Amino acid sequence: MTSIETPPVVVVLQLTGGNDYFNSVIPYTDSNYYDNRRSALQIAQDDVLRLDDKLGLHPTMGPLQEIYQQGDMAIIHGVGYQNSPRSHFRSMDIWHTCEPDIVGTEGWVGRIIRDLDPRGENPVTGVNIGQALPRALVVPGVSVASVADLSTYGLLTNIEEEARRTKILERFSNMYGQAIGTGAVKEYLGRTGLDAMKGADILKEGLSRYSSSIEYASDPIAKSLRDVAMIHTADVGTRVFYTQHGSFDTHASQPAVFDKLWTEVSNAISDFWADLREHDADDNVLMFLFSEFGRRVRDNGSGTDHGAAGACFAIGPSVAGGMHSEYPQTRSEALEQGDLVPNLDFRGVYSTILEDWLGLDAVPIVNGHFEKPGFVAA
């Protein structure tokens, strides 16, 4: 953990849609990769950005290779859970609530915010950057500041801003009412309502104080991570940030879509950390990337279908860089339904962040005890 003077901060980046693990972290010496990726998805050995003598990154992930080589990135292999439903909605719900067997009603990040600020004294302890409010942040009675675009926030009239906030909450209700019941949704909206975004007012102050030489790109994830940097350097006490990018649901036209997405993500992450270093504000930050599942080992000719095991990434100066856990077996007889089989429960990955970084008790947040990979430096 970091010192009391600089409380630890987590930035969660959700890769929405199911990122292709097999083409992100490529086993470039494994013949099974080339046997299963015969279309334009196949990355030639000479094009792989090598990390060691077995694994490398997709060619669009150059900035992440540099971060890895500096020792500031951990790759956690084979992450998932048993009996994956291979459904976007259900799988993301499981990752958000840590409930693979029942439909959960509390998000794991919302529980973090509640534990960090049990009295709700700081309305910006948790900040969501994006149009939607992910269930990971939702716990009845816990407010989360939610901002679509910090650069325009505060420039709208009160009526326009109220309409935007209402639209976000309506989207949340439409997305989750059927899954957890309208009663649960109404309880959440009734107890927090527009207060779920009230903390955004505090964030306006950060706009006037922020100055940086970093020129972020204009794509959504670059803007989102710029906003995270702006809020973090404003020192308003935010401990948890959440944002997302996608869609990584590449059933068709994967080469073009995948290349674009990872180019945007890699460059945005690189700029984000450069920005924090410029402000001497990087030491207490850990970034965590995940996706709801990986994708099918064999491509379908144009893309890949839903899979099971995936990879997570942890980035920051306090990360124990390198490979963690084992890359799943790729031979055909080791696959399940044609997919890589998870060998590390995602709740164990969460537990490392919770206990070894934030100093919280993971058990009530992830609903149990799970094996923890050691990607946070001692």
- Tens of pLDDT, residue by residue, the chain (378 residues): 444 468 999 999 999 999 999 999 999 999 999 999 999 999 999 999 999 999 999 999 999 999 999 999 999 999 999 998 888 889 999 999 999 999 898 999 999 999 999 998 888 899 999 888 899 999 988 988 888 877 666 433 344 556 665 665 566 556 555 554 555 555 554 444 444 455 656 777 666 778 999 999 999 999 999 999 999 999 989 999 999 999 999 999 999 999 999 999 999 999 999 999 999 999 999 999 999 999 999 999 999 999 999 999 999 999 999 999 999 999 999 999 999 999 999 999 999 999 999 999 999 999 999 999 999 997
φ, ψ dihedrals at 162, nearest 5°: -60, -40
- Within 10 angstroms of residue 120's Cβ, the number of other Cβ atoms is 14
Distance CA 191, CA 186 (A): 8
Domains of the chain and any CATH numbers: 9-366 (3.40.720)
> Per-residue DSSP letters for 28-55?
TT-HHHHHH--STTPPPGGGSEESSSSE
Q: Is 35 helix (H, G, I), strand (E, B) or coil?
A: helix
- Within 10 angstroms of residue 10's Cβ, the number of other Cβ atoms is 23
Which structure tokens are listed for 346? 């995602």
Single-letter amino acid code for the residue at 198: K
The vertex-342 CA angle with 337 and 343, nearest 5°, equals 140
Per the CB < 8 A criterion, the answer to whether 13 and 244 are in contact is yes
Instruction: Tell me the pTM.
Output: 0.90
> Which candidate, 263, 247, 344, 256, places its Cα nearest to that of 295?
247
